[in-house]
Amino acid sequence: MNYNVREHSYVVGGLGVTGQACVRYLLRHQALVKAFDTRSTFALPSDLSSAMGNSFTSAPLTPDYFDGVDTLVLSPGLSLDIEQVQLAKQCGVEVIGDVELFARINGALPPEQAKKAVGITGSNGKTTVTLLVTHLLNACGVKAIEAGNVGRPVLEAIDSDADVVVMELSSFQLETTSSLLLEAATVLNISDDHLDRHGTLHHYIDAKHRIFKHAESAIVWRDGEYVTPSVEHESARANTVEYGLGQSQQGFSVQNAQGSDWVAFNNTLLIKVNDIPLAGTHNVLNVMAALGICMQVGVKPTDAISHLATFKSAPHRCVEIANYGGVRFIDDSKATNIGATIAALEGLAPHTKGKLILIAGGDAKGADMNSLAPYLSQHVACVFAIGKDASLFKACFPNTTLVTSMAEAVKGASSFAGNGNGDVVLLSPACASIDMFNNYMHRGEVFKQAVDALFVDEVTS
């Protein structure tokens, strides 16, 4: 593939972290580039302001803006339906994202310089698996760097000294990606999410499955829905590694041996399930998926598993933040959709001796909260619901209390919990955070602050 950025003229749409990384890369490689942002009050960082001058605008665009432009590199945070994108298409401009730009640049490099890449998507667990794969590869002597939706823009990985780029890929990134070559790809799971942007579950699944288009192999959850490559994804479908919690002679499975449950690969015992340092059965699946991906870049499961104990989980993903009076407080603020909350409930319930009390709510993004109801009935004693769509929880689970703030939710949940009975207060919102907080990280921080403040108040009163 022959691709030289100097031979093209670009517009970068949306100047968040990803868009800024695109502009910096293109300017550094002497490409013709200008940029727009949809926020009328947005101000460029000083380095880009001096470099771009009048090449940046936050004003409405006119057709002549795209004169001489080949390619619009669109931020994943901006929908393909916005008027600026429609205008670009009317002017014959190709619309791609930063991941597709990475694919083209990386694919044009000499083989000794090109990065190997693996891709991870799914409704839930992407970041955990991405960071875990990166950790295990590096621990086994393979230079790896995480990039994509995990936080580091993928173009920053091109100039790194890594041999393997471990990509977390969202549906928003994948819908503008068409030529990404991957050593291994996985769709961890699929649940209703981002239907406010994709419109239907079918369109959401189609976006996710673009990860398999040029993948050499697929890592597939044996019992998952919508996670297997389609017939048109020939290479991925022909080279599949399966995993699951049930027993199986092939791939990764859970087997009972020596009086314990073990994660096994092709009948070789790897690690006791109880020795996995990540809470919940959903994380057993995440570990299997990570091991499967490592296999495809030459690291044996028996080698990788020995480094699992040194992995540090990312914050806000089923992490215990406090234990006051025998009540465990768990931050799962990253659970921004129903599937993530279901995974947390099913993962924690078997290990919860007392009541499981849920704090949830926010912006449901058009999801049907009724699909959560059976899991609430089975596992949860009480819900304290906050935010824009709090009433949806009340409608599907009668034992729901509507509250107006995180502090009020924490206070109510703590009062409902018993002392020393093994109760758990779980923040797992099943909703986005943008109605009340800056992001899910901010929501998790406010949760911890409310827990700590309540504890201090109780001790000093």
Mean pLDDT of 326-341: 91
- In a domain? residue 2: no
End-of-domain residue from the set 96, 128, 153: 96
Which pLDDT belongs to residue 460?
A: 42
Same domain, 300 and 354: no
Same domain, 106 and 156: yes
Kindly tell me if the per-residue pLDDT of 198 is higher than 70.
no
Structural domain range at position 436: 319-460
- In a domain? residue 345: yes
Same domain, 273 and 420: no
Same domain, 111 and 253: yes
Same domain, 142 and 168: yes
Same domain, 17 and 107: no
Active-site amino acid positions? 126, 149, 194
Phi-psi region at 358: left, alpha or beta (left = phi > 0; alpha = psi -120 to 50): beta
Same domain, 136 and 164: yes
Same domain, 209 and 248: yes
Mean pLDDT of 305-317: 90
- For 150-175, the pLDDT digits (tens) are 889 999 999 999 999 999 999 999 99
| CATH number reported for the structural domain that contains residue 227 in this entry | 3.40.1190.10
- For 91-109, the pLDDT digits (tens) are 999 999 999 999 999 999 9
pLDDT, averaged across the chain: 93
Kindly tell me if the per-residue pLDDT of 339 is higher than 90.
no
End-of-domain residue from the set 96, 113, 147: 96
Mean pLDDT of 102-130: 94
| CATH number reported for the structural domain that contains residue 79 in this entry | 3.40.50.720
- In a domain? residue 107: yes
Which pLDDT belongs to residue 192?
A: 66
Total structural domains within the chain: 3
Same domain, 113 and 132: yes
Q: Does the predicted model carry a pTM greater than 0.95?
A: no
**Between 88 and 319, residue with greater pLDDT:** 88
Mean pLDDT of 375-389: 97
- When pLDDT is cut at 50, 70 and 90, the band that residue 261 belongs to is very high
| CATH number reported for the structural domain that contains residue 326 in this entry | 3.90.190.20
Looking at 26-35, 122-131, 195-204, which range is the least confident one? 195-204
End-of-domain residue from the set 284, 310, 336: 310
**Between 10 and 314, residue with greater pLDDT:** 10
